[in-house]
A and B are shown apart, each in its own frame.
Chain A
Amino acid sequence: MLKIIIPTIMLIPLTWMSKPNMIWINTTTYGLLISLISLFYLNQPNDNTLNSSLMFFSDSLSAPLLALTTWLLPLMLMASQHHLSKEPLTRKKLYISMLILLQLFLIMTFTASELIFFYILFEATLIPTLIIITRWGNQTERLNAGLYFLFYTLMGSLPLLVALLYIHNFMGSLNFLMIQYWIQPLPNSWSNIFLWLACMMAFMVKMPLYGLHLWLPKAHVEAPIAGSMVLAAVLLKLGGYGMMRITTLLNPLTNFMAYPFMMLSLWGMIMTSSICLRQTDLKSLIAYSSVSHMALVIVAVLIQTPWSYMGATALMIAHGLTSSMLFCLANSNYERIHSRTMVLARGLQTLLPLMAAWWLLASLTNLALPPTINLIGELFVVMSSFSWSNTTIILMGINIIITALYSLYMLITTQRGKYSHHIKNIKPSFTRENALMTLHLLPLLLLSLNPKIILGPIY
C-alpha cells in the first residue's frame, strides 16, 4: 500500500516546488499516474484479500473505492482551476495540499485493517474537508454549513469510539481480518442494542440516513466544486463502506434492529426525491438526489444478502462518478451564470451544444439507464429488497419514477427551451471542462462492460 501512500505524500512537495504556471498540470498528471497504480488492486487473484502489511490491506470491497478515490483527485484539480484563478499562489498551493491531504487520509481509511486506525482516519478526513468548505466556499453561509457538517458527523461518530474500545476490550483485537474468525453472535440485550446503535449511527450520519441528512445539502451547496465532488463521490461512501465492514460484528442484532432504519430509508428516499422535484437550486437538487441514492445503499446494506451487498457496492461506485459529474456540470454553469438558480440558466443547449451532450449523458446515468452500472446497482438493490419483502417494490417503484422525473426535469430546465438574454455572451466550454466530463464518463461506460470488478467481495 505504501506504493500509493508515499507517492501521494510526495505530491505535496511537488505542489510547493512547482513553478507557478505548472502547479495544476504537474499535480494532475502525477495524480493520474497514482490512480493508475491503484488499478492493480482491482485484480484480486485470491478471493480473500491482499495484505500489504499489518496495517493495510485491500479486498474487492475496498479496491474499487480506492480506485475511485485516486481517480477523483486529478478530476478535482481539473475542476477547481477556474474557481481559484484569482487567488494568490500560496493559497492555490495550500488548496491543492488540502485536497492531497484529504486523498491521503481517504486512501488510508479505505485500506486500514484495524478498526481504531480506521476510526482515527475516518475522523481525520473531516479536517481537510472542513477547511476546504469554510475557507474556499462562495458565500457566508459556508461557515454555518461547516458547523453543521462537523457537528453532525462528530456527534454521530463519538459513540463509535466508545463502542470500539468496548469491543476491543472483550474481543482482544479490532483487526478486520481476524475478527471475522473470532466473532461470536451477540446476545440480545439492551446494552447490545446500544452497542449496535453506537456502531451504526456514525456511518448512518455519514451516508446520510434520512432525518440526519441536513448537513449534506448545506455542505454540498456551500462547498467549492472540489469539496462537493469529493463529498458526493467518496466521503458518503465511507459510510457505506464502514457499515458493510462493521455489520459482521453485529450479528444477529441487525436482523431486527434494521427495521426502523429500513423504514426511515425507504420513506426518506421518496421524500428526498420529491424534494428534488421542487428544488430551484441546482446544487441542492443534486445533493438531495445523493441522499435519495444513498438511502438505497443503506437499505441494501441492512438487508445483508450477497445480492444486496453487490448492489450496494456497485451503486456506491456508480453514484460516486455520476454525482461528481453532475456537480462538475453544475459548476460549469455556475462559473458562467454566477448563480446556482436553475431558471437563470435556461436553454443552454443552443449556446453550449457539447455541454448539453454531457448533461444528457449525466442525467441518463443518474436515472439509471441500462446497461450502465447505476442500473446494475439499483437493480440489484431492488431485487434484494423485493426478496426481503414484496411490498417494498411499491416504494422502490415510486422512487424510480421520481428519480427519472427530476433527472429529466433538471436536464430540460437547464438545457432545453429558449435561452434568456443575460446569458448571450457567456464563455464557450473549455477543453478542460470537456476533458473533465469525459474522464467521469469513461469509467462509467467502461465499467458497464465488466461490472464484476466493482461488485464487491461476493459475486
Chain B
Amino acid sequence: MNMFSSCMITALVILTLPIIMSSTKLYKNKLYPYYVKTATSYAFMISMIPTMMFIYSGQETIISNWHWMTIQTMKLSMSFKLDYFSMIFVPVALFVTWSIMEFSMWYMHSDPYINRFFKYLLLFLITMMVLVTANNMFQLFIGWEGVGIMSFLLIGWWYGRTDANTAALQAVLYNRIGDVGFIMTMAWFLLNLNTWDLQQIFITTNDNFNLPLLGLLLAATGKSAQFGLHPWLPSAMEGPTPVSALLHSSTMVVAGVFLLIRFHPLMEHNQTIQTLTLCLGAITTLFTAICALTQNDIKKIVAFSTSSQLGLMMVTIGINQPYLAFLHICTHAFFKAMLFMCSGSVIHSLNDEQDIRKMGGLFKVLPFTTTSLIIGSLALTGMPFLTGFYSKDLIIESANTSNTNAWALLITLVATSLTAAYSTRIMFFALLGQPRFSPMIPINENNPLLINSIKRLLIGSVFAGYIISHSITPTTIPQMTMPHYLKMTALAVTTLGFILALELNLTTQGLKFNYPSNYFKFSSLLGYYPTIMHRLTPKTSLTISQKSASMLLDSIWLENILPKSISYFQMKSSTLISNQKGLIKLYFLSFMLTMILSLLILNYHG
C-alpha cells in the first residue's frame, strides 16, 4: 500500500465532507462557502501528490473495493481507475473548480441561498470525479447522469425565470438523447462481452464494434454538444456565470469527449467510427464558430467558442490522436474557465449587461479583467507559448499531416481562423474604443476574491500548457517532420483571422447598418436550427400526443369500443326486448279507457 491510492481516496473523501456537514448547523453558517472552497483547494493539493507520483513513475492503479452485487456471471463492484487520464484530469478539474468557487463567493455574494449553491457545485464536482475515475460502465453512468442532473439544477438556479427553466429542461432533454446511446452500449457490452469493466471490455475481442461505438458517439454528441444536439449549450448560459464557467466550459461538456477517449482502445481500429467522429467534429467546430461570429451576448460568444473547441477535440479523436484531445481538454479548461470568469466580472460590473455593443472602453476601468480576457482569448486562438498553443498547434499539425478526409480538415482550419475572428470581436467591442455604457455605474474590480481567482487561472493559462505537455510524454507520437508551410498553417490562419476581423471591425464601424444579408441571418439565427427543431418537432410531437394518443386512441377508440359501446348495446337491447317501457301516461290512459269502456258496457248491459 503506497500513498498513491490512499492520497487519491483522501482527496475524494475531503470533497464529500462539506456535503455530509450540510445536515449540521454548519450549513446555516455564513462561512459555509468558504469551507467548501477550502475543502476543494485541499483536495487539489492532496491530489497533486499521486499525480506527481504518476508523472515520476508512471504507475497506474485500479482500486476495487465494496462489492455491490453479483448478477449471475457479472460482478458489479465499486472500482476506481487511476490511470493517465484520471490522474491528470482530476487535479486540473479541482484547480479550476477551486478558482471558480472563489469567484462565485464574489459573484453570488448577494444570493440568499449561496450555501445551497455551493453544495450544488460541490455535488456536481463529486459526480464529475466519479465519472472520470470510474472503472466500470455502471459507475461511469452514475457520474454521467449525475452531472446531467446537476447541470439541470444549476442552470435552473434562478428558478423564477422561465428562460432558465426552459434552458434547464432543454439541457436534460438533449443529454437524455445521448444517454440512450450510452444505455444501448451498456446493453450491447452486457450481451456480447458479459462485462461492464473497462479493462475486461478492452481485452475481449469482437469483430464488429460498430453498434456500441455508435452508441458512445451518440452519448458524446449529447453531452459534448456536438452538431445536432448542440443548442442546449448556448441556452445553458441562462444559468449563473460560475455555473457556465465550471460546467459548460471545463468539466461537464468535455465528459463526452472524455468518454470517447476512455473507449479509444476499441475505436482506434475502427475506420467507420473514426470518420464519423471526424466529420461530426469538423461540422460542429465550423458551424458553432460561424454562429459565434454574429452573437452580441458576451456569454453566448464564449459558449459557442466552447462548442467549437469541443468540435476540435472530436476532430482530434477522429484523426486517432486521443492523447492530444485529452491534452486539449486540460489546457482548454484553464483559459475557457477564465474567459467565463472575465465575462462574469464584466457583466457584474456593468450591472448585468451582457450585450457587447453596450460595452466598450473597459480597458480603462477594468484593467485586470481586460488583461486576463485578452490573454485568455490569445490562449484560445493558440498564440505561441500560451497554454492553448501546446495542444492546438499539435492538433492542427497532426491534422494537416494525416491522410484522412481532406474537406473535414479544411473545415477545421477555417474554424480555427474564425476562432481568432470572434475573439477579436469580443476584445474590440468590449474592451477597446469608447465606452458605450451608462456613466452612472460604479465599476470596481478590486475584490481579492475576484482578483485572486482570475489571477490563479491566468497563471494557468500562461504556463499550464507548457507544464503539462512537458511533464507528460504523449503516448502516441505526433508527426515530427513536415514542410514549413504546414508547420506554419495554424499560426498563419489564426493571424489571418485576427487581421481580417480587426480590419472589418474598423472599416464597418462608421458605416450605416443595412438590411442584413442572408449569410448574416444564417449566422445570427444559429443556422435556423432552433427555429426549425425547437418549433416544429415539439409542436408536432405534442400535437400528436394530444390529438392521436390522448384524444383519438384513449378518449375515442379505447373508451368507446370497450366500456361505452358495451353499456350502449346493453341499454339498447334491454329497451328493445323489454315490453315494460315506463310510459306511465299511456298505461294510465289505456287503463282509464278500459275502465270507462267497462263501465259503459256494464251499465248499458244491465
Contacts and interface: CB of A to CB of B under 8 A. Distances in A.
Chain B binds chain A: yes
Interface stretch (B88-96, B340-348, B547-555, B580-588): B547-555
A349 B116 CA distance: 14
Given A349-B159, A371-B142, A387 B186 contact: no
B126 to A, nearest CB: 14
A118 B70 CA distance: 33
Contacts of A349: 159
Nearest to A211: B558
Interface string B26-40: 000000000000000
Given A387-B187, A404-B173, A408-B152, A370 B563 contact: no
B554 A275 contact: yes
B571 interface: no
A417 B165 contact: yes
B179 to A, nearest CB: 7
A369 interface: yes
B191 A386 contact: yes
Of the four ranges (under 10, 10 to 19, 20 to 34, 35 or more), the interface on chain B belongs to: 35 or more
A400 B176 contact: yes
B549 A274 contact: yes
A347 B160 contact: yes
B180 A278 contact: no
A337 B554 CA distance: 28
B162 to A, nearest CB: 6
A315 interface: no
Nearest to A215: B563
B378 interface: no
B272 interface: no
B544 A274 contact: yes
A1 B87 CA distance: 55
A452 B554 CA distance: 38
Given A214-B559, A386-B184, A412-B165, A277 B545 contact: yes
B545 A306 contact: no
B146 interface: yes
Contacts of B211: 390
Given A274-B549, A350-B160, A417-B162, A382 B183 contact: yes
Nearest to B116: A353
Contacts of B504: none
Interface string A375-397: 00001001100110010010011
B142 A370 contact: yes
Contacts of A369: 145-146, 149
A401 B176 contact: yes
B597 interface: no
Contact of A271 (B141, B191, B553, B563): B553
B69 interface: yes
Contacts of A347: 160
Given A401-B180, A418-B160, A370 B146 contact: yes
A278 B542 contact: yes
B553 A416 contact: no
Contacts of A12: none
6 contacts: A274-B549, A306-B72, A370-B146, A383-B191, A393-B187, A412-B165
Interface of B: 69-72, 138, 141-142, 145-146, 149, 152-153, 156, 159-160, 162, 165, 168-169, 172-173, 176-177, 179-180, 183-184, 186-188, 190-191, 211, 541-542, 544-546, 549-550, 553-554, 558-559, 562-563
Given A214-B563, A310-B71, 11 more contacts: A214-B559, A271-B545, A274-B544, A349-B159, A350-B160, A393-B180, A393-B187, A397-B180, A405-B173, A408-B152, A418-B160
What are the 6 A-B residue pairs with the smallest beta carbon separation, nearest first? A274-B545, A397-B180, A386-B187, A416-B159, A370-B142, A271-B549
